[in-house]
A and B are shown apart, each in its own frame.
Chain A
Amino acid sequence: MREPENIIVVKDLVKKFGDFVANDHLTFEVRKGEIFGFLGANGAGKTTAIKILCGLWYPTSGKMSVAGYDIYTQREKVKRNIGYMSQKFSLYDDLTVFENIRFYGGIYGLKKKAINERAWSLMKRLDLEDARDKLIRDIPLGWKQKLAFSVALLHNPKVVFLDEPTGGVDPITRRQFWNMIYESARSGITVFVTTHYMDEAEYCDRVSIMVDGRIAALDTPENLKQQFHSATMNDVFIQLVRSK
């Protein structure tokens, strides 16, 4: 069997803000089609890493490629192949569901017909057909979040980056959201997700746990639990933080 292709390759990623080192020599690979979890407390450097991989911030040093493209020299090609959903789920409050989909589809260069088709199937899947012409500010948070995720996938990216996507929603919606993540992973999309909910780590194929800007551990949840003799990922995390 062929080794799975690595869709994200990061070598010695360093990001400094003045004296503060947010990312300290991160090295890891993400395989095609997996759900890769990036775990850590607030301020551990997860968001910094994700913003660098998405091309929003410059790294201080290190080598990185996403979807086979170099992050320094082929930035725009990288962007064509990634989707991104931030903590704030950046949809426009004063636009309707459909208008948001159309706008983002448009700036990714989708044809009008494609936009309409995908918008329609997307709204059907999310049960949002009746809310097509509702303003984003008038729909519940859980819907907004699912919609933001779907919008991030609108242009069929190879990788999707999710930065703390489940902040502030109830457990049931979180469960539904993770079902959506599974579904897209099954269709071949690589999912790179950051979270500080340790229970969510169980849903990932592999997780990397960040402590103070470094990767403290990286493996499948099962292996990690075994390695640290813990029943839950939460225990693993607490051991890692204590041991430093």
Chain B
Amino acid sequence: MRTILYIIQKEFLQVFRNRAMLPIIFILPIVQLIILVNAATFEMKHIRLSVVDLDLSSTSRGLISKFEGSPFYQIKQFSFSYHEAENQMQHGKVDMILNIPRGFEKKLLIENCVKVQFIVNAINGASAGLCNAYATMILMDYNRQIIAENKTISAMVLPQNILTDYSYWYNPKLNYKTYMVPGILVLLVTIIGLLLSGMNIVREKEIGTIEQINVTPINKIQFIAGKLTPFWIIAIFELAFGLSLGKLIFNIPMEGNLWLIFISAAVYLFVILSFGLLISTVTNTQQQAMLVSFFFMVVFILMSGLFTSIESMPQWAQTLDKLNPLMYFIRIMRMVLLKGSGFNDISRHFWALVIYAAGILTLAVWRYRKVA
């Protein structure tokens, strides 16, 4: 047991003595957290709209003013040529074109039915979908309005109306920051933890000190435990610090029990750090270790469900994602912090992490060879 303490002491000394490393571990992530949290939104504001109004009637003007009044749209340009508008889109200057054909009003009054065109830049499919949904909503509002204004008609028929109310639970204002702060914080802690542990043993291999340790009677479990603990402490500390900052700066909600968060974090970090040490034991150079860590990190991050939803992934990928520790922990964070979930709610994710930790730690200890 005391042996472990000496390894821990040594690792701490090395980390804290490395002047260039300290800001990378402690300051950079916090700065990134504060900045990047603001970036992660699909929320659409100021969709750049180009209006081609060939009708110039009161009805068409009414429709345009609806778009003008919407917080989602920002009219960039009026034009009388569809071709010109499309050219603007080609240049990436507008996101959507509202094309009102000649004879729009007349056709509406005579034929009772008329079409307007929405042309959406759909390179980003999700944004395009939302953009279309907003536009359709505005159009339908306007449609209802002209019908209501026309007394004769509205008295004549009574269209059936289904009223939809939305409510957004746990985050009524759809403040994406409250969701992103814990998520991005976890990503940063993961990146740091995985890199520190992933480079650790392989670095000792490169400089040759690992041999000196391997000729000692130290046992493998002591060695791995001694290597893991300092990074584990650093990561937990960083997580706690980040959460406090999130509370102070972004006022993120903390509905559930914080102990639940930290106990889960403790297990999760075991998984990540053991994973790093495993990488470190199977690679020969820091370059290799880094490339492998990079690979897993990107996979873990992009499949974590933080930026894109897991349900939209194909079934096989969802099954594969069961091997992604980040997925479990991001869920736990989100459930406990924002929804106040209790242990029963998160237990399946928690136990998955526990099993993962046990498995990967065993693997790391087993793969660490004192004898080649």
Contact = CB atoms under 8 A, between A and B. Distances in A.
B14 A92 contact: yes
Nearest to B17: A94
A104 B6 CA distance: 8
B212 interface: yes
Contacts of B207: 88, 90, 93
Contacts of A43: none
Contacts of A82: 215
Contact of A108 (B9, B10, B13, B217): B217
Nearest to A52: B371
B217 A57 contact: no
Interface residues of B, number: 26
Interface string A84-112: 10101011111100010011111111000
Contacts of A146: none
B147 interface: no
B9 A79 contact: no
A54 interface: yes
A16 B219 CA distance: 27
B216 to A, nearest CB: 5
A242 B370 CA distance: 38
Contacts of B364: none
A142 interface: no
B211 A86 contact: yes
A132 to B, nearest CB: 15
Interface string B205-232: 0011101111111110000000000000
B91 interface: no
Interface string B12-50: 011001100000000000000000000000000000000
Given A88-B208, A106-B5, A107-B218, A95 B13 contact: yes
B215 A84 contact: yes
Given A84-B215, A88-B207, A90-B212, A56 B10 contact: no
Interface string A110-131: 0000000000000000000000
A75 interface: yes
A57 B372 contact: yes
Given A56-B371, A56-B372, A94 B14 contact: yes
B2 interface: yes
B6 A106 contact: yes
B251 interface: no
B212 A94 contact: no
A107 B213 contact: yes
Contact of B18 (A77, A94, A103): A94
Interface string B173-216: 00000000000000000000000000000000001110111111
B3 interface: yes
Contact of B209 (A54, A55, A56, A92): A92
Contacts of B209: 90-92
B120 interface: no
Contacts of B211: 51, 56, 84, 86, 90
B213 A58 contact: no
B371 A99 contact: no
Contacts of A88: 207-208
B217 A80 contact: yes
Contacts of A99: 10, 13
Contact of A58 (B14, B215, B218, B371): B371
Nearest to A148: B212
A235 B130 CA distance: 88
A138 interface: no
Interface string A52-82: 0011111000000000000000011101101
A104 B14 contact: no
A222 B213 CA distance: 37
Contacts of B372: 56-58
B215 A95 contact: no
A54 B13 CA distance: 28
Nearest to A57: B372
Contacts of A109: 2-3, 217
B7 interface: yes
A107 B216 contact: yes
Given A94-B17, A103-B10, A56 B3 contact: no
A84 B219 CA distance: 17
19 contacts: A76-B217, A77-B217, A79-B217, A80-B217, A83-B215, A86-B211, A91-B209, A92-B14, A93-B207, A95-B10, A95-B17, A99-B10, A102-B9, A103-B6, A106-B2, A106-B5, A107-B3, A107-B7, A107-B216
Given A56-B214, A103-B6, 20 more contacts: A51-B211, A55-B370, A55-B371, A56-B211, A58-B372, A76-B217, A76-B219, A79-B215, A86-B211, A88-B207, A90-B209, A92-B10, A92-B209, A94-B13, A94-B18, A102-B9, A106-B3, A107-B218, A108-B217, A109-B2
In the complex, the 6 A-B pairs of residues with the closest C-beta atoms, listed nearest first:
A106-B6, A90-B212, A88-B208, A84-B215, A79-B217, A90-B209
